[in-house]
Every structure is written in C-alpha cells, then in structure tokens.
Amino acid sequence: MDNINSTETASAGQGSNAGHETVSVVAAPPQAIKAWVSRLGIAGVVCLAAGFGLAFLQPQGRGYFFHAYLTQFVWILSIALGALFFVILQHATRAGWSVTVRRSAEALAGTFPLLILLFLPIGLPVLLGSDALYPWINRQTVMEDELLRHKAIYLNVPFFTVRAILCLAAWWMLARFYRKMSLLQDATGDPDLTRTMERWSGPALLLYALTVTVAAVDWLMSLTPQWFSTIYGLYYFSGAIVGGTAGLILLLLLLRGTGQIDTHLVTVEHLHDLGKLLFGFVVFWGYIAFSQYMLIWYANIPEETQYYVPRQTAGWVGVSIALILGHLFVPMLGLMSRAAKRNTFTLAFWSIWLLVFHWLDMYWMVMPKANPGFLGFNGIDVLTAAGGLLVFSATVLDRVAAAPPVPLRDPRLAEALHFENT
Amino acid sequence: MNREAVSISPSDGPDSGGRWLGVAARFTGPAELLAAAKRIKEAGFRRWDCHSPFPVHGLDRAMGIRPTVLPWLVFGAGLTGAVVALLLQWWTNAVAYPFQISGKPLFSLPANIPVIFELTVLFAALTAFFGSILLNGLPRAIHTGTTAAAFRQVTADGFFITVDAADPLFDAHRTSDFLRGLGAAEIELCPIPEGSTQIPHAVYWGLAVIAILATLPPLFIARARSHTLEWPQEKPRIRIIKDMVVQPKLKTQQVSRLFPDRLGMRPPVAGTIPYNPTPPDWEDVRRLETGRVGDQFVTEFPIPVDMDLMRRGQERYNIYCAICHGLTGEGGLYDGMTARRARARGKPLWVPPAALTGQSVREQPISKIFDTITHGVVREGRHSMPAYAVQIPPRDRWAIALYVLSLQRARAPLPEDFGTDTAAAALSGPAGAATHDLAAPPQGNASLVSQNEQSKQSFDQGTNYEHRTIDGQHQFD
C-alpha cells in the first residue's frame, strides 16, 4: 500500500524518473504483430465462410452449422470472459504480482466488439423466428408442451433479445472501462485511477456473475428448454476461467517468445502463478461438473436426466469419458508439479490441451441434438472452430499492438517486477 | 532489553561452545538478511537458521535449502485417502451390508466420489499440517535464539540469523566476528539456560497415563455395544445415554407406591359405562378380518358383492398388485413391471410372481386369496411376497380378491360366458348372495387377455410397454 503514493516506483520504459529500476519495455516493433492481424483475420473469415458453404452440401447441414457456430462462439466468448474476470479479480484483490500480465488479459477481454458482431448469426435468426437452434422459438412446440408454456414468460424472443443486448453491453462496457483506465494511467501515472478501478471491481464482479449466468442459461441451457440446472451458469463460468487462463498463458508465452514482452517483465514466477490458477480452475471445473451430474444421477428423475441420457448413449459416451479424463484428471496430474508450471514448454502444452478440451466441453454442451449418437466430427465443426479462433486471435493481436505490453505506471509495478513465489 | 548482555566479554577467552547454545545476529532488514544468508551458506556453516517477522521471498534459495519431500508425502497421503475411501465404501455397501437404495447398483462410483474427495483432502491436509511440523523439527523445548535477550524482536521487526554451537565451524568469537563482518547490527551469544534442558520424566509418565485412560471410554462403548450381539439376546443393552426408551412408567402388573392399594393397574372409575352398547358379532368380524371360521377358510364373501366392489377391487389391484402380477394377473416373466425390468436387465433377481389366473390359484377358495394378500407368501423362510395387511384394509382385500376372480374367469371362461348379457345378469343378483361362481368377468376382460398376448410379443421385440396401465384402467369406464 505504501507504493500507491510513492513517486519512486519503478517506472518502466517512460524513462523519466526510473531510478535504478529502468526496464526496457518495447523490445520488438509492433509492426510485426500488425502484419499478422490481417492475415489471421482473413484466414478466419475464410474458414467461417467455408464452414457455412459446407453446410449447404450436407443434408440438415444448416441446423448443424448453427450448432457448430454456437459451439465456437461460446468457446471464444468464454476465453474473453475468463480474461475479463481475471482483470476484475486483480483489482478486487488489489493484486501486485499480476500487474505485468494484466495488460495481456485486458487485450483478450478487449475482443467484445468482435464477439458482439459474431453474436449476430445467433441473435438474428432468433429475431426472425427461426427455431434452428432454440426449440422454444417455435410457437407450436411451446403450445404442445405444458412446461414450455409456463416458461414462455422468460423464454420469448423479445425478452431474450433484451437480455442478450444487456449481457453483451455489460461485458463490453466492463472490458472497455478497465482497459481505458489502465491506458489512461500509462499516460498520466495517476495512482488514483487504480483506486477508481478497485472501487468499481466489486459491483463489476456482481454484474459479471449475473450476466454470465443469464448468458449461459439463455444461449446454452435453453437448447433443451424443458431441462434445467441451477448450477449451469457456474458450470459455464468454471470452464470460461480455464479457457481464459489458458488463453492468457499462451498469449504471454507468444509475446515473450517473439520479444514483444521482455522476460524481465513477465518472469517464470508470473507464469508459475498463472499455472496455479489454471490448475486450480481445472479442479474447480471438475468439482462443478460433478456437482451437477451427481444430483441428477442420484434423483434419477426423467425431467432432469434427459440432459445426460443423450450424452451417455452411443458415441457420446466416448466424448463424456474423454472430458472426464482430458478436462480433469490428466491435466490435473500434469499441472500438479511445481516444475511443470515453471517450464514454458509444459505450461504451453497444457494450455493448448485445455483449450482443446474446453472446446470439446462446449461441443458436448451444444451438439448432442445436431449430432445424435456422435458419429465423429464434421468438417463444419473444424472449420467453424478454426475460423472463430483465428478471427479472435487477430482481434487480440490488434489490441496487443495498440497499447504498451504492460501497464507502464501502475503503482504496483515494482511489486510485480520483484515478485517471487518462495 | 539489557544491551550489556549483548557484548562479549573478552574474559570469556577462546571458546568453541560448551557454554553457549550458539550466537544470534540481528540484521536491519530482509535485504540484509538475504545477503548475509548467502555468505553464511558460502562459508560452509551447516547448523544455522534465519528468523524473520514475515516470510522473505527468496530466502530458501539464499540459504540453499533443498526442496522438501513434503509434497510427495502429501500426494501419497491424498492417494491413500482416495483408495481408503473407495475400499471403505465398497466393503460397507457391497460386501458387509448390501442394501439397495433407489435402484442403484450396490457399488456405484458416482455415489462414492464425494467421500473419496473428502478423504483425499483430509488425508492430504493432515499430512501437510503434521508433516510440516515434524519436518521442521518441532516441537522443540529450546531453540538457540530464544535465550538471547534481543531475539524477542523477531516477532516485531527483527531479522535474525542464529548459528548453533553444534555446528563444526562454530567458535564463539570467530563466528561472532564473522557475523559482524556481514553487517549485523547486533550480536548476542545465546547462553545455555540454567538447570536441565531435558523434558522431565514425569511429563512422559503423565502422557502415558492419559493415553491409557483415554482408551477406557471407547473400550466401554465397544463392550456396551458388542454384548448385545448375542442371540437370542439375554442381557439388555447397556445404555450410556438414557433417552426416551428408558423412562419411569407403570406397567399393568407392577406395584405402585402412589396408591393405597399398591396396585399399578387401576380399576375403572365408579360409574364407568361401556362405550359400545351393542357388542359386535365377533364371529362376523373374524370372518371379515381373517377369512376363516375356526381353522376353515370360508368360501363365500363376508361382504356384499356388487359392481362398486368390483371397481374398487380393480383400482386397488392395479395400484398394489399389478406391479408384480401384471394387469392381467398372468404374472411370470412377461407381465408386471418388476418382472419385465428384471428380464430386461438380464437378471431375474427374484422368483417370478405367481400367475393368479393359473390352475392352482383358480382352485383356491376365495378366502385363501384374501389370506395370501393379508399375510404374503413365505417361501424357504423368506417373504417372496410381502404381507399387505398394513397397507390394505380388509374390505379392500376382499375387493381385490373379487377382481382376481374376474381375471381368472376371463382367462378360463365358462361356456355360458360366451352368451349375451350373461355377465350382467350374473352380477345383477341380490347383494350379499354372490358366491365364488357369481363373480363373473366384467366386460372387456377377454380382450384384456388377448391384449396381453400382444404385449408379450411387443415386449419381446423390445418395444415399450408404458401405456398399458392406462388401457387397463379404462376397461370399466
């Protein structure tokens, strides 16, 4: 806390009053990044378009495409949401260690304009009354099902639209606020900006929790509108933190590896701590997933088990078991050791592994209706996932290139630079 | 704080221990402590330690402390906890006391995971807690630094390094000078405290006595619980906690000190009259409730037989009986949800329910059917059918028996049943006069049987059989 009012903090890069703590910030020119933005972006759009085109060559391909598209959307959305949570959490806990990695998390969370754009192919068909994704949009289906009639007060197109706009707007606003304030501090060095960000972090977390729950219920749970699970929002959240942390680690490793961030700014100690978070939330995901499963398994009531029965039949058994092993036990053991978290290769390996299995988790949540019995992956799955990830990465790199790689004049920068785990 | 004690008197002379526990050096801050720790490690000291009011990052590395074995112990303990929890639940649930709960398998992994998780955490946490205490060499009666007067600062703002006299390189003067050379703000030799530093033997003896005494309550509880295992039980269980089972009360033949005549059993108050002025015909009641006169089964219904009773019987039958014997009473492996489920799972776990429409049951007197519902069926000392006396009142049991008769009649109809209006005529007889023969099949039962044949086939083809209950319900409507 002493550091906040101290003018002798390590001011990196700006060079004015650095004292004995001057650290060079910009090592490589950001032009190298900018070149990749357009390449990745174009490749991503091409992949998405190819996936959409492929849908017309297959019987029932359009319904399949929308499900695959939703899968990749909630996947990349969760990475951004995980990063946004990370940023708010650092302010809520007044964390010193994470200052140098926070700017990268802000870049990941800065992708909400893209995500709002990418939501349109999901939101517009709903507005136009297409039930390709959500059965409750079909008036006939609702009238014939008593449960859906009772849920119509919540599951209807106008209210759905309002909620979607509120959620996306809230995330965009939060991400924008924390990034703008942080960039403003780079320019002014005003420590009061940190206080302001901290003051708003509590309400921000509340807003975040509410909107993530609503989004998970609306966009994912209402795919099976008769079914319900009160822990569903938390389930999506737990996966989002895994995805967001894995994405953040990979981004940092990329920027470190290409010289965009000096290895003295983001040290192995920071990576170690991010690895701990990743490990912890892998276990948290398993805890939440099992909590949801066990109650439904125990009570064995048809209106609840209808969610798990399709996921336990035919090919989906394999996917479910792959998730238990690949999303929980294998990475848990892999990330348990201190050495694994301090080695950039193993850390990158497990981050990629978890991003892949996190996508499989989204696939498992969305696809059973479009891909009954799971006969294998479709080209559409691969193309949409690749396209989503590519346009997302392009946007992240664009954000990275637009700002210094670390908060330059954060009052806790010195603490982060000297951070050690032992 | 006595600063005089801090300085070393030259009269002490050269000294390599014996009079000192060691030496404590105070440094001004964490950075100085780190720097000094590196130099002491390089100088080759072995038995020394750092003390600070808060954890100093990087001190482990500066002191050259090797990684602890504790994580491996914790990992092993966690695994042990998981395996112990799994075996415990498998043995108690599937071996020692097999008891089916809500149709789940006796040994079922999802149900066991919470306990596995908890025991994993418990074992690992206890190992981490006690392991770190033991690996740090605690508890310890006396520590080198604690006899130095300045050392108490360590809980406020003091950063200390202590070197034990037991270190091979220790020498009171040279080590003190060395530490001063490292920038120590204060050096103090730690005197050996007066008197013995050993823990008195009485403490060990006391602990042993407490340990023995501590085993007595569990032993007593174990004895109190175990001697009731004898069978037949002769002695009452020893009740450590006397709850409501043990309470003062007066039983019929006991002596009471409360009343002058010392009788526990009280005569009716003077002027008491019987509640029921006309006593019931006990013979009728017995016939209704047991279906017997003396040792003989009665062959006629003790209550009036009419269409209402038949409807009541169908309803009760479909509620209580059809789940095993099937809607048609065919029983066996094909009718009845339980038998079908057992068959579908490939595990006929129980004796197939009897066919109520079969020859042996058809030849039973009506009250034998009533009697079976009342008492269940005991085969080889076990209830293969439970007694329904508790769930179904006597009147309803007779109604079910009546309905069973109609099912039998539908299965093996008499020639006159194929005429028109016979059934209606048979049932329209005077109330109370109905006999076994008069319990004719209600309309539609023949079709019910043929439907059953169809459903057998449809079941064998693996189609569903959910909706037949509704069909059965509507037969009389």
B425 and B444 together in one domain = yes
Q: How many domains does chain B have?
A: 3
Q: Does residue B280 sit within a domain?
A: no
Q: Domain range holding A209? A: 26-412
B221 and B335 together in one domain = no
Give pLDDT, residue A386.
Answer: 96
Asked whether the beta carbons of A51 and A43 are under 8 A apart, the reply is no
Burial of B54 (0-12, 13-18, 19+ CB in 10 A): exposed
At A170, is the secondary structure helix, strand, or coil? Answer: helix
Q: Domain range holding B208? A: 199-243
Give pLDDT, residue A310.
Answer: 92
B126 and B193 together in one domain = yes
B226 and B296 together in one domain = no
How many Å apart are CA B420 and CA B411, to the nearest integer?
Answer: 18
Is B114–A294 a contact, with Cβ atoms under 8 angstroms apart? Answer: yes
Q: Does residue A185 sit within a domain?
A: yes
Give pLDDT, residue B443.
Answer: 45
How many Å apart are CA B325 and CA B102, to the nearest integer?
Answer: 21
Tell me which residues of chain B have a C-beta less than 8 Å from any C-beta of chain A: 57-61, 71, 75, 102-104, 110-111, 113-114
Distance from CA of B119 to the nearest CA of A (A): 15
Q: Which residues of chain B have pLDDT under 70?
A: 1-18, 225-238, 240, 347-350, 419-477
Give pLDDT, residue B419.
Answer: 65
Q: Does residue A341 sit within a domain?
A: yes
pLDDT band at residue A16 using 50, 70 and 90 as cut-offs: very low
Query: Taking CA atoms, what residue in B is nearest to A291?
Result: B114
Question: How many cross-chain Cβ pairs, A to B, lie less than 8 Å apart?
Answer: 26
Extract the runs of DSSP E, i.e. beta strands, from B125-193: 159-164, 186-191
How many Å apart are CA A295 and CA B167, to the nearest integer?
Answer: 60
pLDDT score of A15 more than 80: no
Q: What is the pTM of this model?
A: 0.69
Distance from CA of B110 to the nearest CA of A (A): 6
Q: Does residue B437 sit within a domain?
A: yes
Give pLDDT, residue B232.
Answer: 66
B59 and B204 together in one domain = no
Residue of A290, A336, A422 with shortest CB distance to B61: A422
Arithmetic mean of pLDDT, A12-24: 45
- Token pair in block for residue A318: 């394999």
Residue of A293, A336, A422 with shortest CB distance to B60: A422
- CA B246-B252-B253 angle, to 5 degrees, is 105
Q: Does residue A8 sit within a domain?
A: no
B334 and B435 together in one domain = yes
Is B59–A422 a contact, with Cβ atoms under 8 angstroms apart? Answer: yes
Is B113–A338 a contact, with Cβ atoms under 8 angstroms apart? Answer: no
Residue of B58, B71, B110 with shortest CB distance to A294: B110
B231 and B170 together in one domain = no
Q: What is the pLDDT of residues A128-187, one digit of tens each?
A: 988 889 999 998 989 998 889 999 999 999 999 999 999 999 999 999 999 999 999 999
Q: Does residue A3 sit within a domain?
A: no
Distance from CA of B459 to the nearest CA of A (A): 21
At A67, is the secondary structure helix, strand, or coil? Answer: helix
DSSP category for residue A312: G
DSSP category for residue B8: P
Q: What is the pLDDT of residues A218-229, one digit of tens each?
A: 999 999 999 999
Is B113–A420 a contact, with Cβ atoms under 8 angstroms apart? Answer: no
At B121, is the secondary structure helix, strand, or coil? Answer: helix
Pairing mode, if any, of strands B20-27 and B159-164? antiparallel
**Count of CB atoms within 10 A of residue A324's CB?**
14
At A406, is the secondary structure helix, strand, or coil? Answer: coil
Asked whether the beta carbons of B52 and B157 are under 8 A apart, the reply is no
Of B317, B284, B312, B333, nearest to B388 (Cα)? B317
Strand partners, B24: B162, B188
pLDDT band at residue A24 using 50, 70 and 90 as cut-offs: low
Partners of residue B34 in chain A, C-beta under 8 Å:
none
Give pLDDT, residue B379.
Answer: 81
**Count of CB atoms within 10 A of residue B350's CB?**
12
Give pLDDT, residue B86.
Answer: 96
Give pLDDT, residue B422.
Answer: 54
Is A31 part of the contact surface with chain B (CB cutoff 8 Å)?
Answer: no
Give pLDDT, residue B13.
Answer: 44
Give pLDDT, residue A81.
Answer: 97
Query: Taking CA atoms, what residue in B is nearest to A420?
Result: B57
Cα–Cα separations (whole angstroms), residue B458 to B168, B267, B340, B347, B455: 91, 69, 12, 20, 5
How many Å apart are CA A265 and CA A368, to the nearest integer?
Answer: 45
Tell me the one-letter amino acid at A394.
Answer: A
Distance from CA of B75 to the nearest CA of A (A): 10
Arithmetic mean of pLDDT, A357-370: 94
How many Å apart are CA A122 and CA A77, to the nearest integer?
Answer: 13
Q: Which residues of A58-96 are buried (b: 16+ CB within 10 A; e: fewer)?
A: eeebeebbbbbbbbbbbbbbbbbbbbbbbbbbbbbeebb
Residue B434 φ/ψ, nearest 5 degrees: -65, 135
pLDDT score of A292 more than 90: yes
Give pLDDT, residue B348.
Answer: 54
Give pLDDT, residue A90.
Answer: 96
Q: To 10 degrees, the CA torsion angle through A336, A341, A344, A347?
A: 50
Which distant-in-sequence residues (6+ apart) come within 8 Å of B249 by Cβ? none
Asked whether the beta carbons of A79 and A97 are under 8 A apart, the reply is no
Is A329 part of the contact surface with chain B (CB cutoff 8 Å)?
Answer: no
Residue of B58, B111, B114 with shortest CB distance to A422: B58
- Token pair in block for residue B350: 């129980």
Q: Does residue A119 sit within a domain?
A: yes
% helix, strand, coil for chain B, step of 5: 50, 10, 45
Give pLDDT, residue B385.
Answer: 87
Cα–Cα separations (whole angstroms), residue B172 to B141, B142, B149, B178, B324: 23, 19, 17, 10, 92
Question: Among A334-348, A351-365, B332-346, B453-467, where is mean pLDDT lowest?
Answer: B453-467
Cα–Cα separations (whole angstroms), residue A142 to A22, A37, A154, A158, B283: 65, 45, 12, 16, 62
Q: Does residue A55 sit within a domain?
A: yes
Give pLDDT, residue A9.
Answer: 37
Partners of residue A267 in chain B, C-beta under 8 Å:
none
Distance from CA of B117 to the nearest CA of A (A): 10
Partners of residue B103 in chain A, C-beta under 8 Å:
300
B24 and B131 together in one domain = yes
pLDDT band at residue A100 using 50, 70 and 90 as cut-offs: very high
Give pLDDT, residue A228.
Answer: 92
Domain final residue pick, B185, B209, B243: B243
Q: How many domains does chain A have?
A: 1
Quickly list DSSP for B421-466: THHHHHHTSPTT---TTT-PPPTTHHHHHHHHHHHHHHHHTT---T
DSSP category for residue B390: T
Asked whether the beta carbons of B160 and B145 are under 8 A apart, the reply is yes
Partners of residue A298 in chain B, C-beta under 8 Å:
102, 104, 110-111
Give pLDDT, residue B320.
Answer: 93
- Token pair in block for residue A252: 């940092």
Burial of B399 (0-12, 13-18, 19+ CB in 10 A): buried
- So what's the ipTM on this one? 0.83
Q: Does residue B305 sit within a domain?
A: yes
Question: Mutating which of A279, A298, A419 best tests the B interface, going by the most B Cβ atoms within 10 A?
Answer: A298
B320 and B424 together in one domain = yes
How many Å apart are CA B369 and CA B377, to the nearest integer?
Answer: 11
Q: Which residues of B234-259 are buried (b: 16+ CB within 10 A; e: fewer)?
A: eeeeeeeeeeeeeeeeeeeeeeeeee
Question: Mutating which of B57, B101, B118, B466 best tests the A interface, going by the most A Cβ atoms within 10 A?
Answer: B57
First to last CA, chain A: 21
pLDDT score of A315 more than 50: yes
